[in-house]
């Protein structure tokens, strides 16, 4: 018969009285803690989740695109339509919330930020210099418009960084670009009326082109919608100012 060797392994954490005594007198290191496996937490498999509106709301744009070939959605017309609706909303939101402020650039940035801008983006370039009152007035109007129409790209650049030796008497100057070409230019603050307001600048910019197109509708309809809103805002502002002036007058007639 062959020799058999048995190795006895005690239960983990078990100790003898001798070991306990030696530890008590410091002759052995402290007893290591007993290993405890982490508590089991069942995870919900992605495939087991019910495919409904809430499930689809948690998807990213890329994940929604991948669902186009999902066999489980083939027989669910509601989810098919809702998926398309969600994708459209995400794409519109991404397009509209592109800019939203007046972006400062240097001369070396001009080609990349303006001339090479996407063909579907209108770019309004403000040539200015600090310390000029008219430049400050127009800049305030442009900042207001940039927040209202975040799909339009508003740029500001020091005039002589853009065009060497550009005359200060022409400041401020607006250049309107689309698809790499200048579509319009406005020299001086008087280009925008006797009183330069955000609404006045908007009306001038949209005279012939959808410069302030919000990107959610076709060019022509969007331009008309913008002009309609701007005219309404202008009328409301005039009425408010008249009411304020009448209130401040303080004179009454019998």
Q: What is the pLDDT of residue 82?
A: 82
Q: Report the CATH number at residue 139.
A: 3.40.30.10
Q: Is residue 154 within 8 Å of residue 146, measured between CB atoms?
A: yes
Of 69, 96, 123, the residue at which a domain comes to its end is 96
Residues in the chain: 254
Read off the DSSP letter of residue 114. I
Q: What is the pLDDT of residue 253?
A: 46
Q: Is residue 178 within 8 Å of residue 209, measured between CB atoms?
A: yes
Q: Is 252 within a domain?
A: no
> 3-class SS at 28?
coil
Instruction: Identify which of 126, 95, 101 has the alpha carbon closest to the alpha carbon of residue 222.
Output: 95
**Domain check: are 160 and 231 in the same one?**
yes
Q: Is 216 within a domain?
A: yes
Q: What share of the chain is helix, strand, coil (3-state, %, to 5)?
A: 50, 10, 40
**Domain check: are 114 and 78 in the same one?**
no
The parent domain of residue 202 ranges over 102-239
**Domain check: are 208 and 82 in the same one?**
no
**Domain check: are 146 and 125 in the same one?**
yes
Mean pLDDT (the chain, rounded)? 79
Mean pLDDT by 10 residues, the chain (254 residues): 50 64 72 69 57 74 74 70 81 72 95 92 96 96 92 95 96 96 95 89 89 60 66 70 65 46
Q: What is the pLDDT of residue 252?
A: 43
CA-CA distance, 43 to 68, in Å (whole number)? 26
Q: Is 16 within a domain?
A: no
Q: Is 160 within a domain?
A: yes
**Domain check: are 192 and 231 in the same one?**
yes
Q: What is the pLDDT of residue 91?
A: 75
Task: Write the DSSP assignment of 158-208 as a string of letters.
Answer: EHHHHSTT--GGG-SEEEEEETTEEEEEEESGGGG-SS--HHHHHHHHTSS
Q: What is the pLDDT of residue 166?
A: 96
pTM across the whole model = 0.57
Overall domain count for the chain: 2
């Amino acid at each position: 018969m062959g020799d058999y060797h048995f190795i006895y392994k005690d239960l983990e954490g078990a100790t003898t009285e001798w070991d306990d005594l030696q530890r008590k007198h410091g002759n052995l290191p402290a007893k290591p803690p007993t290993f405890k496996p982490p508590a089991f937490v069942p995870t919900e498999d992605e495939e087991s989740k019910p495919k409904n509106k809430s499930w689809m709301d948690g998807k990213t744009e890329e994940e929604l695109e991948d669902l186009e070939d999902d066999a489980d959605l083939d027989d669910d017309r509601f989810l098919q339509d809702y998926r398309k609706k969600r994708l459209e909303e995400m794409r519109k939101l991404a397009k509209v919330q592109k800019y939203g402020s007046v972006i400062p650039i240097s001369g070396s940035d001009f080609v990349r930020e303006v001339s090479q801008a996407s063909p579907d983006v209108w770019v309004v370039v403000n040539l200015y210099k600090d310390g000029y009152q008219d430049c400050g007035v127009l800049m305030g109007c442009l900042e207001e418009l940039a927040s209202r129409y975040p799909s339009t790209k508003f740029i500001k650049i020091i005039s002589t960084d853009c065009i060497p030796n550009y005359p200060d008497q022409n400041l401020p100057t607006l250049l309107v670009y689309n698809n790499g070409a200048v579509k319009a230019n406005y020299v001086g603050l008087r280009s925008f009326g006797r009183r330069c307001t955000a609404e006045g600048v908007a009306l001038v910019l949209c005279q012939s082109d959808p410069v302030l197109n919000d990107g959610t509708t076709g060019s022509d309809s969007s331009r008309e919608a913008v002009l309609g809103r701007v005219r309404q805002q202008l009328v409301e502002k005039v009425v408010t100012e008249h009411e304020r002036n009448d209130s401040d007058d303080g004179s009454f007639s019998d």
